[in-house]
Each structure stands twice: as C-alpha cells, then as structure tokens.
C-alpha cells in the first residue's frame, strides 16, 4: 500500500464511520420505541419485571428504572435452578456495581513536594523515582494547617457533575469499620504441588495437530466443537486435558450470522456436543464452565471422568504465524526457564493462573519471618472501593486542536516489560485511613512520607494556570471503567488516584498541580511481589538472550514467544490480584424467559437461546489483593508521563516531549511527532522506538485509524532497519 492508496482507504473508513453513526441513530430510535413498549407492558396489573426483561433484552434493573412500581423481585434462584455456566475470575475486566456519589467536602491542601527531598525511609520506592524532577531543592515545605481547607481559587471551573460518579468512604465509624481484614482469608504458601495437564496444539485453519512429538493433519469439517473433539481424540489419548488453538479462531466461524462477536462465540461454545456436556464441577483447584470472550474464550467439557478445555494460545502471546510445533517448542522453553527458578513449576491454563500460583510459592514460609503467617485480605468494602476507583492502563487519543491536523511524522515509543519495573515495593497489611482532617494535622514530614508511601487518595484536583501539556490525573467519565485526563487550566474535578500519580502531579518539572486531600488509604511499605517479579525478570532475560543467540532460527522464534509468555505471566498475574466480582453466565431457551435469574443482564439473544450474565459478588479468594494491582497500575501510568533514568541522568516520558506533540498514549506506549533521543538498554521500563511513519500524514481520529498507522509505522521502521544492516 502506498500513500495514495492509504489516503483513499482512510476515506473509505470514514464512510463506514458515517454509516455506523446512521445505524446508531436508528438504534437509538428503536431503543426509544422499546422503552415505550416496556412502559405499556408495565401498566398490566400482573406484569413482572423478571418476565419483561429477557423479552426486551435488558436487565431487570433497566425495566424497574422505566416502570418503578414493578420494583425488584426476590431472588428466584435456588437448588432447582443452578447457573448453567460458571464464569471464573480470570484475566479480563468485569462490570461494576452501582457506586455511592462523592459528596462535596472540605479538603487539606497537599504540600509542594518539589521543595522536599525523597524521604530517606522510602528512598528505594520506585514511585519516587518515577516522579523525580531534574533538580530537587533541599528546603523543607511549610506545614499545612487545618485552616487551609482547599477552597478552589476564584474563577476556577469546578466539575461536580461528573458523568460517572465514584464511591467515597462513609464518614465516621461506618467508614472506619471498612479498614479491617476479611476473617479467615489469608494468602499463604501452598503445601501441595499443582498437577500438570497434558496439552496439544491445533491450527484449525490448516488442521495441523501437534501432541508431543506427533504431528498429524485432521479433517475438522466446519470446525465446530463436536467436530474438533471427535477428530482430536481420534489421534491423542483421553489424558490430554488442554487443547490450545494456535490459529483459525473457530469460535468466529458464524460471526456473519450474529450482530455481535460475543454472540457468535457464545453460540459456538454452547452448541450441542454429542457425548459431551459443559463441565460443571471439578476439584477445588480447577475451574469449571465456559468463559465467553470475544477473542480469547475458554470452553470446558466433560465426558464421564474425562475433562478437556479448549483455549486460545493468544492468552499467552501472539503466535504471529508460528505453526503448532513452534508454539509447542515455545511452551517447552517457557517451562524450562521457569523451572530454573521454581522447581515445582506447572504451566496452568492461563498466564494469570500460572502467575498467581508461582507467586504463592514465594510467600515467606520461615517461622518468625515477616508475613510468614500470610498476607491478610482486606475487607470486601475496601476491595470494592479499589475496583471502582482504580483504573488500569491509560488509553487516550488526542485530536485537533490539541495536535495539528497534519502530522509531520508519527513515532511509537514502547516501554519494554514495563510492569516488571514497578514491583519492588507494595502496600501490605490493612491500610490506615487518612481523612482530610488527619492529613491537615500531620507535620510536613509526615505528609511527605504519606505521599511517598503506597497509598490511594480521594482528592480534589485543580489544573494549574498556563498548563499546556497532557493531563496527569484520571477523571471518571461515562462508560464501564472509563477515564479521561483533564488538562484545561483551572479546571477542577474530584477523583481517586494512586500515590505515585499524586506525587507526579505535585513534583512534575513543569509546574505543580493543586491537590486537596479528601480521604485516603495508607499502607505499610513491603515487598510482597519483589521475589516473584525478580525470578520472572531473570527468566525473561534468559529467553531474550536465547532469542538473539540461538543458532536455529526456529528456536530463536520459539524463545521470543516464550519471553512474551513470561511478560503475560507477570502482566496478567498482577491483574489476577484485582479479583473482580464474580460473574455467572448462562443460557435459557427462548420462550422460557421466566427461567432467567432475577437481576441477570441479557447479553445475547438469537432465535433459540437467551444468553445472560449475573454479578454474584466476590468469591472468597485468599489471593485477592487489588491494592497491589491498583498501586502498580498507577505507578505505570505515572511512569508513562515521567520517569528518571538515573544511570543516564535523563528524564523520559510524555511530559518530557514538547507540548502538542503527543498524539496518543496506550498503556505502555507513546505516539508522538517528536523524535526523542532517549537511551535504550533493553531493561524493564526503557522506551524502545518501535515504529516510525514519515509524513505529512492525517492524524488519527479513532482507535482503528491509530492502529492502522501503528502497523504502517512498524513496517516502515523494520524496512529502514533491514536496509541499514
């Protein structure tokens, strides 16, 4: 594709975008008509919300919102109506429950951290390193008093009408009661070894199956679950319990027949499989039921005592055209690299499960050592608060007038194995509550120590006058777990943010933001993830070296894929600590709407089946530590903006680029028009130039356009690098 063809293709995409807008308008009209009909149905004296909801394809709560007098009915589930499919807590996001609005309240003004040294006790904290300016004055800040109630400056725009309101901690004793451990729930070192599962690898596009040293080609027909299981178990023993799909995505085979990709996946998983049934229960260390995901679903079936699950290898890494034998070799190399650090390592079904299992085997076990009795799990209220107020990676696309219409070029800088840099310290134990009054009563040193420690703060934020760069702190917007990053001068909003982000807002090298502390959670600093992360980092380094030096090109590729799997173990393992509320998913035949559980949300309807899901709250997971995930995500977001490379005496990140040159931020990557001469040593957290697309080019307006430019930029840079070799 040349520049002219690319421009023409962009025009075609914009045409599709306009068509989508028209369809959405039509959809809005249909939804309005549906709501009108729901209200009419609600006038019937025997109408019930749980009967109307599945017929209308909405939740019971949506019906009640339209027809309040129906009210929520009692739960109808029980022993005679079990959920058809159990959705395990895995690597993916979960919907959230309704939250309590943040009330207007006075705050305590945070000190100017640019006028203070890093606390000696916390000098090893990565968050302090992340936010370091180029120079640090050695004067101590003046202490704040309770009289400084944080009232915004005159003429400041205050955003109190946020589209999505975040929860707050109740005042007084009710809120203080949240700050406790969950009784009987502690993370402890396991006293057993996981049992390995035999696995096979299948490319459903070519029919190639690899099991150990055996390679065969199968006739899969239309690649339904029934056809796959029949063909595979004609060649491999019944002891194979895990089948990884390396290519072909058979769950998308009927995507054209469904309005949404999720519906196609659900239909594929729930299709009848003669002789098999959806797995309902196994040993306590095993998950059961299907997991419906648009691109990485998990299907679990059983036949008598035989069990098998079908998974996408994309959970571990992008195979990028690798054949099943190469994927098998990657798993072998992965196991060997991990076995060097964990003698009892077992590769489990997903990187999240593997990561959490390996972490439990690093929990201190020596009698008398700190946390030898285990890490306590916080109260369900605090966990719920963190789930609602702690975002993950920053995803932001900047468009005109914040960037030019025409970009001179587009460069992609990506942080290598970024999360491994942020695991050296984390909060441990039950947090201490720090209210606005308690913060104002602290000495200047105590305030500084609190803002450098692992913490999570409810704050009122004011963007400073003259601010011209990207925003620093997240603000909630409409949408499930959606955030924006305000940067308009004198704009004020209320939010929750990690200590690392608050630290950066107060210490950045441009100018400090006004931060008013409303409430906060403050943890003791510990190292619960350090040993785990260090071992994974060493395994990653060994595989990276093998990928560069092995004489066999196939083994080099396999080692590279294995190193990506190690990254996934750490990345998704950290996500696994978040342990979001459990979701139960099931299906009910059309015509039996009364069998849909109360409170369930309809997520798909075809001519024969209603698919639903229901939030069933938190499970009693002894390894639920959202405080670690939320803190680490906050540190990573802060480092995306500013990070100090001490050995090179240079600061890097989006805030160290000229204003108006940042086009997009995506978790670990910066897209910019400015060529940055940042050092790269291949260490975790270093910025690698991953793509370069010369201009002038029209800047992206949508995520799809950005990803298209990303692919072109990576291809162009690869061509440049090949030409210079």
Q: Residues 512-532: pLDDT tens digits?
A: 999 999 999 999 999 999 999
pLDDT at 55: 81
Mean per-residue pLDDT of the chain: 84
Q: Residues 227-250: pLDDT tens digits?
A: 999 999 999 999 999 999 999 999
How many C-beta atoms surround the C-beta of residue 335 within 10 A? 16
pLDDT at 160: 45
Average pLDDT over residues 324-352: 96
Q: How many degrees, rounded to 5, is the angle at CA 711 between CA 710 and CA 713?
A: 65
Pairing of β 181-187 and β 514-526: unpaired
Q: Residues 465-496: pLDDT tens digits?
A: 999 999 999 999 876 668 999 999 999 999 99
Residue 618 confidence (pLDDT) above 50: yes
Pair 495, 158: CB distance under 8 Å = no
Q: Residues near 5 by Cβ (< 8 Å), separated by ≥ 6?
A: none
pLDDT at 724: 84
- Both tokens of residue 555? 């083994």
Q: Residues 375-412: pLDDT tens digits?
A: 999 999 999 999 999 989 999 999 999 999 999 999 99
pTM over 0.85? The answer is no
Q: How far apart are CA 323 and CA 236, in angstroms?
A: 18
CA distances, 333 to each of 214, 293, 317, 330, 353 (Å): 18, 28, 14, 5, 19
With residue 16 as reference, give the H or E element that holds it.
helix 3-42
Q: Which residue has the higher pLDDT, 574 or 10?
A: 574
Largest CA distance in the chain: 79
Could you tell me the pLDDT band of residue 262, with boundaries at 50, 70 and 90?
confident
Residue 614 confidence (pLDDT) above 70: no
Residue 286 confidence (pLDDT) above 60: no
Q: Residues 157-171: pLDDT tens digits?
A: 545 444 578 999 999
Nearest CA among 659, 660, 640, 662 for reference residue 651: 640
Q: Residues 634-665: pLDDT tens digits?
A: 999 999 999 999 999 999 999 999 999 999 99
Q: Which residue has the higher pLDDT, 605 or 465?
A: 465
Q: Is the dihedral of CA 595, 596, 597, 599 positive or negative?
A: negative
Percent of the chain with pLDDT over 90: 61
Q: How far apart are CA 148 and CA 136, in angstroms?
A: 25
Q: Which residue has the higher pLDDT, 701 or 54?
A: 701
Half-sphere exposure of 654 (CA within 13 A, CB side): 31
Q: Which residue has the higher pLDDT, 583 or 609?
A: 609
pLDDT at 660: 95
Q: Residues 85-127: pLDDT tens digits?
A: 333 334 433 333 333 444 456 788 888 887 655 554 443 334 3
Pair 297, 641: CB distance under 8 Å = no
Could you tell me the pLDDT band of residue 606, with boundaries at 50, 70 and 90?
low
């Amino acid at each position: 594709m040349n520049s002219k063809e690319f421009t023409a293709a962009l025009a075609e995409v914009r045409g599709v975008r306009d068509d989508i807008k028209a369809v959405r308008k039509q959809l809005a009209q249909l939804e309005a008509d549906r709501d009108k009909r729901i209200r009419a149905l609600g006038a019937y004296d025997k109408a019930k919300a749980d009967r109307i909801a599945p017929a209308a394809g909405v939740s019971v709560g949506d019906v009640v919102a339209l027809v309040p007098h129906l009210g929520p009915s009692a739960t109808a589930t029980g022993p005679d109506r079990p959920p058809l499919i159990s959705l395990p807590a895995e690597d993916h996001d979960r919907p959230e429950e309704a939250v309590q609005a943040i009330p207007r309240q006075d705050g305590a003004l945070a000190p100017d951290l640019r006028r203070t040294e890093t606390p000696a006790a916390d000098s090893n904290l990565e968050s302090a390193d992340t936010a370091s300016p180029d120079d640090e004055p050695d004067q101590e800040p003046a202490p704040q008093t309770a009289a400084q109630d944080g009232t915004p400056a005159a003429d400041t725009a205050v955003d109190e009408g946020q589209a999505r309101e975040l929860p707050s901690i109740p005042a007084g004793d009710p809120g203080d009661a949240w700050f406790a451990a969950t009784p009987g729930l502690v993370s402890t070192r396991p006293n057993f070894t996981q049992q390995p599962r035999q696995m096979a690898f299948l490319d459903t596009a070519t029919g190639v199956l690899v099991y150990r040293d055996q390679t065969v080609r199968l006739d899969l027909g239309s690649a339904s679950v029934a056809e796959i299981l029949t063909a595979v178990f004609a060649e491999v023993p019944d002891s194979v319990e895990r089948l990884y799909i390396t290519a072909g995505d058979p769950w998308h085979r009927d995507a054209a027949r469904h309005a949404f990709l999720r519906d196609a996946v659900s239909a594929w998983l729930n299709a009848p499989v003669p002789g098999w049934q959806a797995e309902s229960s196994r040993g306590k260390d095993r998950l059961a039921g299907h997991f419906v995901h648009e691109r990485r679903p998990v299907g679990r079936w059983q036949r008598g005592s035989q069990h098998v699950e079908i998974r996408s290898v994309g959970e571990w890494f992008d195979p990028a055209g690798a054949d099943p034998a190469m994927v098998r070799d990657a798993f072998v190399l992965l196991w060997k690299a991990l076995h060097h650090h964990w003698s009892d390592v077992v590769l489990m079904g997903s990187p999240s499960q593997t990561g959490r299992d390996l972490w439990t085997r690093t929990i201190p076990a020596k009698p008398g050592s700190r946390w030898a009795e285990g890490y306590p799990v916080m109260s369900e209220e605090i966990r719920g608060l963190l789930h609602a107020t702690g975002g993950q990676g920053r995803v932001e696309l900047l468009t005109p007038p914040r960037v030019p219409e025409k970009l001179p070029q587009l460069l992609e800088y990506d942080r290598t194995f970024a999360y491994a840099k942020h695991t050296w310290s984390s909060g441990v134990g039950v947090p201490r509550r720090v209210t606005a009054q308690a913060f104002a009563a602290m000495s200047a040193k105590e305030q500084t120590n609190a803002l450098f420690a692992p913490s999570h703060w409810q704050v009122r934020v004011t963007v400073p006058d003259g601010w011209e760069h990207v925003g620093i702190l997240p603000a909630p917007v409409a949408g499930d777990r959606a955030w924006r990053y305000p940067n308009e001068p004198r704009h004020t909003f209320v939010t929750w943010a990690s200590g690392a982000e608050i630290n950066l807002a107060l210490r950045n090298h441009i100018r400090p933001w006004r931060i008013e502390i409303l409430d906060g959670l403050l943890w003791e600093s510990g190292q619960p993830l350090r040993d785990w992360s260090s071992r994974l980092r060493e395994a990653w380094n060994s595989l990276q070296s093998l990928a560069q030096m092995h004489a066999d090109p196939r083994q080099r590729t396999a080692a590279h894929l294995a190193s990506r799997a190690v990254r996934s173990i750490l990345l998704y393992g950290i996500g696994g600590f978040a342990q979001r509320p459990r979701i139960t998913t099931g299906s009910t035949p059309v015509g039996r709407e009364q069998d849909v559980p109360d409170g369930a949300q309809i997520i798909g309807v075809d001519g024969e089946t209603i698919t639903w899901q229901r939030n069933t709250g938190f499970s009693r997971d002894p390894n639920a530590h959202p405080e670690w995930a939320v803190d680490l995500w906050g540190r990573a977001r802060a480092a995306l903006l500013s990070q100090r490379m001490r050995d090179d005496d240079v600061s890097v990140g989006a805030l160290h680029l000229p204003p108006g040159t940042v086009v997009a931020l995506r978790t670990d990557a910066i897209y910019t028009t400015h060529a940055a001469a940042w050092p790269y040593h291949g260490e975790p957290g270093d910025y690698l130039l991953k793509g370069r697309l010369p201009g002038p080019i029209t800047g992206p307006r949508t995520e799809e356009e950005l990803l298209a430019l990303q692919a072109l930029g990576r291809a162009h840079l690869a061509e440049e690098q090949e030409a210079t070799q």
